[in-house]
Amino acid sequence: MEKTEFSKEEVVEYNTEILPRVQNLEPNYSVVARARSHRIKGGDDITIDIHLTGIGIPDANKFIFLWSSPNVIDSSKEGDCVWCTRVLEKIGDKDMAFPLAGEAYLEHLKLDATGTMLHLHKGFFLPWPMLPPPKGTQPDLPIIVAERDSQGHCPISISLKTLKTAEPGDYTVDLVFTYKHQNIVKQASDKVDFHITSWWDRNQSWIITAGSVIAFILLVLTVIIGIIS
């Protein structure tokens, strides 16, 4: 069971022992995105879970999601972005930085199907608060919040409804993360492929099965007729 509550002393220790190891590192990130289902029918939701892996705390960032076709997403339905991370920035009058993640911190943001941009807060890039760090990990390269799920929730999930009239075929979602540290700007990207099924895609298995059964029955009847005659 992962720990979800921390004392004031543990927060102070985190800010004096763990956070200083990464605060001055130049950020470097990759995007890892996965669709929950790569095959859907028109009218279903396409849901994508997103992790960031790397180290360092950017000064600023933007996260863009782009769809390969404007005729696949239902713009009349608002999409949903869900995350489960917050950041504690003060204890009393003292500045602190401490991530809070899990079921109790779920937040939602409505998405525009024609183009989506997010700004990720500092909490995503903070080291996971493990005191002491788990055996086998390097203290200078800790696991960060955006690299792991929290109580079964992905750091970021986006969900948009496809059009019922969307043409069957292959589509792509491009995810581009741009981030800045001092005067250095970097980008990381990933893409998710998904397929909108046709009537044949959804029904071919039972049609082929039915055809095989019918062919078998005809073969049996042919044999029986041959024996009788």
- Report the Cα 125 to chain-centroid distance in Å: 16
Q: Tell me: the pLDDT tens digits for 153-179? A: 999 999 988 898 888 889 998 999 999
Same domain, 42 and 152: yes
Q: Are residues 185 and 86 in the same domain?
A: yes
In a domain, 96, yes or no: yes
Q: Find all residues with CB under 8 Å of 102, minimum gap 6, and list them.
A: 2, 4, 84, 150, 151, 153
pTM for the whole structure:
0.80
How many whole angstroms separate alpha carbon 136 and alpha carbon 93? 36
Structurally, the chain folds into a number of domains equal to: 2
Give the helix, strand, coil percentages of the chain, each rounded to 5. Answer: 25, 40, 35
Any idea what the CATH number is for the domain that residue 76 is in?
2.60.40.680
pLDDT tens digit sequence for 73-114: 888 888 888 998 888 887 777 788 898 888 888 988 888 776
DSSP conformation class of 224: H
| Domain extent for 220 | 202-229
Give pLDDT, residue 1.
46
More confident: 7 or 181: 181
Please name the amino acid found at residue 205: S
Is 1 among the domain residues? no
